[in-house]
Amino acid sequence: MHNLSTVIRFEIVRALKKKSFWILAISFPLMFAAIFGIIFLSNKATDDAAEKLKEQSFSIAITDESTLLKPEMIAATKAQSIKAQDKQSTIDRVKNGQLDAYIYYPKNLDAQPIEVYGKDVGPFENGRYESIAKSLLSTSVQTGVSPAIKKVIEGKVSSTNTIYRDGKVHDSIKEAILPGIFLLLFYFLISFFGSQMLTSTTEEKENRVIEMILTTIKARTLIVGKIISLIILAIIQGLLVVMPALIGYLIFHDQLKLPSFDLSSLPVDPVRIGIGFLVFAASFMLFTGLLVAIGAAVPTAKEAGSFFGIIMILLFGPLYAITLFVSSPDTAIVKFLSLFPLTSPIPLMMRNAIGNLGIGEAILGIAILVVSAVIVMAIGIRIFRFGALEYSRKLGLKEVFVRK
Amino acid sequence: MKKTNDPIISVSHFAMRFGNTEVIKDLNFEVYRGETFGFLGSNGSGKTTTIRSLLGIYQPTGGDLLINGKKYTVDGDIKLGYLPEERGLYKKESVVDIMTYFGQLKGMSKSDARQKSLDFLKRVDLLDKAKTRLDKLSGGQQQKIQLGITVMNDPELLILDEPTKGFDPVNRRLLMEIIEEHQAKGATVVMITHQMEEVERLCDRILLLKDGTSRAYGTIDEVRKQFGGKSLDDIFIDVYSHAEEEHTNA
């Protein structure tokens, strides 16, 4: 126990001292800050431009053959009304810079476009005359129309959607959120820490420190210590990523016009959340053991890295069958992907989130994952013991199993 | 501690095979408590394999290798200091952090391990490097750090595999002094070496290994007598040149 806590502390402290850990940790909040900043600046610039537009006075001329524009609206824009026969001469005035813009509304708006002619005011401002043309038309048409019809025209009619399953209100999206968090967490952990797990034991080999280690502590203590420290580091990393984003959301929610989330309305299904957690924990154990075992079997971190792609394909490959998990959960391929230990984490977590994973299948899947994880961990420790002194070559599987 | 004939290490009928190659054949020897034992032989004679098997890193094909009458385990009751032939430590950590870590793994408290580390660094004139990253030190300085880790828990059994490899004469003398200090404290020392002057200076008894079999075993005087009073250097050359002749005749 003393040595396990010593290994964990040593591994965590030295990881926290590495620049790469902090670069990775800080890059996410910085990225979020940059995105929020861009959204904020963009919103502000749009608002400022709208305000500026209101204050600016343009010399505009309008020809309305559609007769849909209200005269008072035209008057409000201080636009000049032009007869249709003067169309070309008015366009020439815009060409010569005597007029800022000219808007021509044709007779049949359903067949012909509104023609807008304007003086160049820069790539970001040139669209303003077109906006005025459309806004003028829309406001004129909606004048005198009831608020309900106005909402229909604007496509702003709201609706509620109540779905029942087994006699109870069912919201599949909301219900998937809490069990689905484990899928995200697993993806995050494996993506960010997979390569660290893979190379966690190659360091001892590459630095030739393994003989001193193996005569001082048990291989199992070292490996378990490394795995626990990686989990703790992942939690620290996760908090470093999530906390600033959460704080940023709470502080800048209104300024950035971010969507609101009412977490209290999320359905809590303890069984599905429990299954999600167990699949996550067993999958994490299995893949950690697998990555550590591969790392222990190869001589260098570089060689270990080439195996990472294979593991990722096995693990995340089932995502390509995502539509099958939703629409055909009872097909043989879905059953296979959900129970074969190297592919099962994503299908099991996804189907659990969607709600089409039966209790029996979940228990079987978790049991297979746990048994596989224990076997892989034991093999990993054995590979570490016997492969430890193989500084320049891969340890063959036969050697691992044949040696006493 | 007084030298006795009570074996701290006993190896009997030890055999080791890697694939089809028989590396060690029926090897038998004992190391007595409190003595300094020289384990000699040319490269590939099986010395390191024997030590690794004794320490449980390799599983022997046959025979018994015992320390204090038992197979060695890391959680056993013996305080061991082992300096392996393959040298290396964590490269990116500071010297004092690495030494403290190993001290803690050897059962010391963090403060004791840190203090012992600093004492050793002062002893070998590296105190100013305590907070330096290991990979910023020279090869010889790194070797000293590794030696410091080996002896920091005052081991009762000290196994040193080619301890002077890579040391200049000044540091070799320093190393010899450190070994002598531990001898004086009663530690049993097993030295694997090619340096005959080290053997003559420090060792009570020796085992000369060739092709995995014992060619000479006993006190230095006994071995010399066995080879007509020759020096250890000449005995070594005799044993190995005889082997060359055997190969040539064959």
Q: What is the CATH number of the domain that holds B42?
A: 3.40.50.300
Scanning B71-110 for CB atoms below 8 A from A yields: 72, 74-75, 80, 82, 84, 86-93, 97, 101-102, 104-107
CA of B75 vs chain A CAs: smallest distance (Å): 8
Q: What is the ipTM of this complex?
A: 0.85
Secondary structure (3-state) at A6? helix
Whether residues B101 and A6 touch (CB distance < 8 A) is answered with yes
pLDDT at A86 over 60: yes
Same-domain check for residues A148 and A180: no
Same-domain check for residues A93 and A198: no
Structure tokens at A247: 């704080």
The confidence band for B245, taking pLDDT boundaries of 50, 70 and 90, is low
pLDDT at B134 over 70: yes
Structure tokens at A365: 């899947």
Domain-terminating residue out of A96, A126, A154: A154
Q: Which of B57, B92, B97 sits opposite A214 (nearest CB)?
A: B57
- pTM equals 0.73
Q: Is residue A47 part of a domain?
A: no
Whether residues B101 and A207 touch (CB distance < 8 A) is answered with no
Same-domain check for residues A242 and A279: yes
* Residues A279-333 pLDDT 10s: 999 998 898 888 878 887 777 777 777 778 888 888 888 888 888 888 888 899 9
Which of the residue ranges A336-340, B164-168, B246-250 would you say has the lowest mean pLDDT? B246-250
Q: Give me the mean pLDDT over the B211-231 stretch.
A: 89
Same-domain check for residues A181 and A80: no
Q: Give me the mean pLDDT over the A116-129 stretch.
A: 84
% of chain A residues with pLDDT over 70: 92
pLDDT on residue A131: 87
Q: Is residue A49 part of a domain?
A: no
Same-domain check for residues A149 and A249: no
Q: Is residue A33 part of a domain?
A: no
% of chain B residues with pLDDT over 70: 95
* Residues B1-10 pLDDT 10s: 556 678 999 9
Q: Is residue B102 part of a domain?
A: no
Whether residues A391 and B93 touch (CB distance < 8 A) is answered with no
- B106 sits in which H/E element: none
Same-domain check for residues A242 and A352: yes
Same-domain check for residues A142 and A222: no
CA angle B119, B125, B128 (to 5 degrees): 85
Q: Is residue B206 part of a domain?
A: yes
Give the number of residues written for chain B. Answer: 250
Q: Is residue A275 part of a domain?
A: yes
Q: Is residue B62 part of a domain?
A: yes
**Residue of chain B whose alpha carbon sits nearest to that of A16:** B93
CA angle A288, A293, A295 (to 5 degrees): 95
What is the tally of structural domains in chain A? 2
Structure tokens at A314: 């096995």
The confidence band for A347, taking pLDDT boundaries of 50, 70 and 90, is very high
pLDDT on residue A348: 94
Domain housing A358: 174-402
Q: Look up tokens 């401002």; give the residue.
A: A125
Whether residues A217 and B105 touch (CB distance < 8 A) is answered with yes
- How many other CB atoms are found less than 10 A from the CB of residue B137? 18
Across chain A, mean pLDDT equals 83
Domain housing B21: 7-79+154-249
Q: Which of A18, A209, A217 sits opposite B88 (nearest CB)?
A: A209
The confidence band for A228, taking pLDDT boundaries of 50, 70 and 90, is confident
**Residue of chain B whose alpha carbon sits nearest to that of A216:** B74
Q: What are phi and psi of A251, to 5 degrees?
A: -75, -45
Scanning B163-192 for CB atoms below 8 A from A yields: none
pLDDT on residue A53: 65
Q: Which amino acid is at A191?
A: S
What is the tally of structural domains in chain B? 1
**CA distance to A268, B9, B127, per residue, from A171 (Å):** 12, 72, 67
Same-domain check for residues A208 and A333: yes
pLDDT on residue B114: 96
Whether residues A7 and B91 touch (CB distance < 8 A) is answered with no
Domain CATH code at residue A118: 3.40.190
- B137 sits in which H/E element: none
